[in-house]
Structure 1
Amino acid sequence: MRASDTLRLLLLAAIWGASFLCMRVVAPEFGAINTAFLRVLFACTGLGAILLLLRHQLAFNGKFRVSLLLGVINSGIPFLMYCLAARWLPAGYSAILNATAPLMGSLAGCLFFQETLSVKRWLGVFIGLIGIMVITATGEAALSGGIIAGVLACLVATGCYGVAGFLTRRWLTERGGLNARLSALGSQIGATLFLLPFFAWSVSSGPAVHWAQPHLWFFVAALGLICTASAYILYFRLIGDIGPLRTLTVTFLIPPFGVLWGYAVLGETISQGFIAGALVVTAAVWLIVSPEKTAKLTEVK
């Protein structure tokens, strides 16, 4: 993998790590479902504005419906699952469980997409999960039905991420590809349409929301425009360049970045467990993304 690909992977992790900071600020005030919908709505609007300013042709080449469906799988369902999980899980646990995406992607690849993984990469997946566990060693959460439901919701989300990576390659990359901006726009339109009924139900039947809070709208805009619109452009480019499994390793890097953002903005402290876990995660990512050694056969003439 090229150095530029590694840098883009780190940038994507930093952006998505910041998304959990934004959600921690906004969701308690606006509600989880409302926050999820506003996230994809702002992302959809921002991507549309970017394409309009660039005078980019909306040439989906017959892949518009596919991109809508990918948006439901890769954004709509996961965002909704994380919203539901937020009802039961302590702060930060969703970000930690988000790191199971490479494992879920590996399982999905083996079960449904005829993918094979080397022992080294399987080792990297499991070492990464150990690193995530070390990071959360100082946290405590009493085991209960709610906690189990929240964990299952997060696993459904990461399962969607794992499947969506392979579907993106099969439906888009292997069929001539699709511009990353168009892929991102189509996916966010699909996610917006999927979440719209949930948002309508929340506004009409849920608790009253105090919408006139300008500082929260700043975080909503950052969540939608930067952490979703810009991030998904980067994400789809990475899938095309380095493949779905390597791209999914970004989820190993999100929790460390999430903690760093929390430290910088919210004054949260960094424990020794975090530092040790971050080092383990770094080693795991290297195992997964580093090139395989192939034996060279020589011909005998």
Structure 2
Amino acid sequence: MSRRGALLFAAMSVIWGVPYLLIKVAVVDLGPVVLVAGRLVLAVAVLLPFALRRGALRAAWRHRGTVAAYAAVEMAAPWWLLSHAELRVSSSFAGLVIATVPLVGAGIAWALHRERLDGGRAVGLLVGLVGVVLLLGVDLAGGADALAVVELLVVAVCYAVGPIIVARRLGEVPALGVNTLALALAALVYVPWALTDLPATPPGPAVLGAVVVLGLVCTALAFLLFFALIAEVGAARATVITYVNPAVALVLGVALLGERVTLGMLVGFPLVLVGSVLATRRSRPPVPEPVALPDAAGDEPPTAPDSRDTAGQPARRAAKVASRRPW
């Protein structure tokens, strides 16, 4: 990984490990709808002036259908589901379930024939699946809310699909325009809904601070950094930040909210991490066959096969185009 990639990876690992704590702090007083609406409005307010000044919205608007789909699976649906789930489960447990994103991403990439499923990746998917079963099964047996678990698994699927949409369909569109338009479209859905669900009493400073950090840092800044990470390391592997996100969520939840570490977390989460690493590792390039020399008659030699690892190349190539766009 390049130095730029390492810095982006470290920043995103922390920035997207914090929201679980902030959501837990704010959702009880505000409710999921108002919390998501506030997060969206703040992010749009910050990004819209930059997007307008740079003309980034015009290109994004030409792909508005795809951007709307991206907004639905990366923002509108998962943010509500995550907030709703955290009404009934701990922030640390929510963060650990979202650690399944690389497994889901690897499975989708294999199903779409974008990545080869060699023996190591197959073992990784199996080990990760065992970890998920242990993580969720043990905690469900211990009284975890089943509906919340289902909601978190849907969030994991959404977070795995979002980067794939970006890489395959929006790679040549400026990231600033895509994110700003997506956030604005999601806000148009949530703001009218939130106005009918406002809390009866004004929230306290801690709740307001949590919403502000969610909107400005964990949304506006984070999406720009995440696009840069996709461009640097590829769409499927950009989700590997979820190796560290759950650890951040776990530490913060236990240290600041006094949340309990369960047996399912201790047994299942390490297997999920090991499985994710194996399932998302790069395939070794095939050994090129020797090129035959032309014979005396002057026949052309056969073309040697391309020895590069082409699995997932279209997605990574499209994402790298976005890295050259001014944000």
On the 8 A contact 1:13/1:250 being kept in 2, the answer is yes
Of 233, 237, 247, 1:246 maps to 237
On the 8 A contact 2:101/2:160 being kept in 1, the answer is yes
Q: Structure 1, unaligned stretches of length 5 or more?
A: none
On the 8 A contact 2:13/2:244 being kept in 1, the answer is yes
What is residue 45 of structure 1 aligned with on the other side? 45
Q: Tell me the CA shift for residue 139 of structure 1.
A: 6.6
Q: Distance in 1 between matches of 2:269 and 2:9?
A: 16
Q: Tell me the CA shift for residue 261 of structure 1.
A: 3.2
What is residue 171 of structure 1 aligned with on the other side? 169
Q: Distance in 2 between matches of 1:89 and 1:266?
A: 13
User: How do residues 42-191 of structure 1 correspond to structure 2 at under 5 angstroms?
Assistant: 42-51=42-51, 55-61=53-59, 62-112=62-112, 115-127=115-127, 142-143=142-143, 147-173=145-171, 177-191=172-186
**CA 1:74/1:141 → structure 2, altered by over 3 Å: closer, same or farther?**
same
Q: Distance in 2 between matches of 1:138 and 1:108?
A: 26
Q: Structure 2, unaligned stretches of length 5 or more?
A: 294-327
User: How do residues 194-205 of structure 1 correspond to structure 2 at under 5 angstroms?
Assistant: 194-203=189-198
Check if 1:214 corresponds to 2:209.
no
What is residue 20 of structure 1 aligned with on the other side? 20
Q: Distance in 2 between matches of 1:197 and 1:238?
A: 33
**CA 1:4/1:74 → structure 2, altered by over 3 Å: closer, same or farther?**
same
Radius of gyration: which is bigger?
2
Q: Tell me the CA shift for residue 236 of structure 1.
A: 2.0
**CA 1:290/1:160 → structure 2, altered by over 3 Å: closer, same or farther?**
closer
On the 8 A contact 1:46/1:229 being kept in 2, the answer is yes
What is residue 305 of structure 2 aligned with on the other side? none
On the 8 A contact 1:19/1:227 being kept in 2, the answer is yes
Q: Distance in 2 between matches of 1:294 and 1:43?
A: 42
On the 8 A contact 1:74/1:161 being kept in 2, the answer is yes
Q: Distance in 2 between matches of 1:228 and 1:142?
A: 33
Q: Distance in 1 between matches of 2:132 and 2:248?
A: 12
**CA 1:126/1:68 → structure 2, altered by over 3 Å: closer, same or farther?**
same
On the 8 A contact 1:113/1:166 being kept in 2, the answer is no
Q: Tell me the CA shift for residue 299 of structure 1.
A: 2.5
Count of matched residue pairs: 290
Q: Tell me the CA shift for residue 115 of structure 1.
A: 4.4
Q: Distance in 2 between matches of 1:264 and 1:66?
A: 40
On the 8 A contact 2:57/2:178 being kept in 1, the answer is no
Question: Normalising by the residue count of structure 1, what TM-score does the alignment of the two structures yield?
Answer: 0.80
Q: Distance in 2 between matches of 1:271 and 1:156?
A: 22
Q: Distance in 1 between matches of 2:177 and 2:109?
A: 25
On the 8 A contact 1:68/1:188 being kept in 2, the answer is no
Q: Distance in 1 between matches of 2:152 and 2:121?
A: 23
Q: Tell me the CA shift for residue 69 of structure 1.
A: 2.7
What is residue 29 of structure 1 aligned with on the other side? 29
Question: Normalising by the residue count of structure 2, what TM-score does the alignment of the two structures yield?
Answer: 0.74
Q: Distance in 1 between matches of 2:4 and 2:137?
A: 33
Q: Distance in 2 between matches of 1:77 and 1:181?
A: 21
On the 8 A contact 1:132/1:252 being kept in 2, the answer is no
Of 222, 242, 249, 1:231 maps to 222
**CA 1:280/1:97 → structure 2, altered by over 3 Å: closer, same or farther?**
closer
Of 278, 289, 300, 1:287 maps to 278
On the 8 A contact 1:183/1:236 being kept in 2, the answer is no
On the 8 A contact 1:105/1:165 being kept in 2, the answer is no
Q: Distance in 2 between matches of 1:167 and 1:113?
A: 15
Q: Distance in 2 between matches of 1:276 and 1:151?
A: 17
